[in-house]
Structure 1
Amino acid sequence: MNPGVLKPMIAGIPVEYLLILACIVFSIGVAGVLFRRSAVIIFMCIELMLNSVNLVFVVFSKSLQQVQGEVVVFFVMAIAAAEAAIGLALVVAIHRKKKTSFVDEMNLMKW
């Protein structure tokens, strides 16, 4: 098979179905970031968006029979883990001071 041509299926699943799944998961993540108020839920929705991008990278990597997409996924997962650790630490610190985790009420930078 020519490496520049997409394979129509990956493990019996059509590529289009996997890309549609990634779009749905990304849309759920965007909706959660836009409409939810809890910082923990917003971080979870950001993780959903990062995972949908990872799915797209893996699908194209497998369909093009190249490894670069899967290598990028490892870097995205490392960044997501660091973001989750730092973000949750900030939320816990702010929750201890303000007694809330709603982003509308987190105004610690105001004088």
Structure 2
Amino acid sequence: MIAFSLAPTASWYLVLSAVLFGIGTFGVLVRRNPLVMFMCIELMLNAVNLSFVTLARQLNDINGQTIVFFVMVVAAAEVVVGLGIIVAIMRNRSSMTADDLTELKG
């Protein structure tokens, strides 16, 4: 009888990371709403973080987890600034697409 182990391995997490990154890329390319595009970019960023943590765990190296910590700190600041700008612009308009952001040029 063949024994199957369903314990997640590093390859499972790397495949999950690739799938999440693909979903995020598809969302950025297909959607025109800046808020949805912003969320898809954050999904892509978290997919990369997952792969960093997976590889750091696989190689028994703390550097990958340290990089993820700093990326998450920068991403938190990015979310605050990015969402603030997007929400401020969307308040003035009933609907907005990414093409409307070209009007922000000074």
The question of a shared fold, defined as TM-score above 0.5 by the shorter chain, is answered with yes
**How does 1:35-54 map onto structure 2 within 5 Å?**
35-54=30-49
Seen in structure 2, the aligned counterparts of structure 1 residues 50 and 110 have a Cα distance that, compared at 3 Å, is closer
Spell out structure 1 runs of 4+ moving beyond 4 A.
Answer: none
**What SS does the aligned partner of 1:65 have?**
coil
Amino acid at match of 1:47: E
Q: What is the TM-score when the length of structure 1 is the normalising length? A: 0.82
Q: What is the TM-score when the length of structure 2 is the normalising length? A: 0.85
- Provide the aligned length of Structure 1 versus Structure 2: 100
Seen in structure 2, the aligned counterparts of structure 1 residues 14 and 110 have a Cα distance that, compared at 3 Å, is closer
1 or 2, which has the higher helix percentage?
A: 2
Counterpart Cα distance in 2 of 1:65 and 1:81 = 27
Amino acid at match of 1:98: R
What's the RMSD between the two structures over aligned residues? 1.6
**How does 1:1-111 map onto structure 2 within 5 Å?**
12-109=7-104
Counterpart Cα distance in 2 of 1:58 and 1:99 = 41
Task: Give identity over the alignment, percent.
Answer: 43
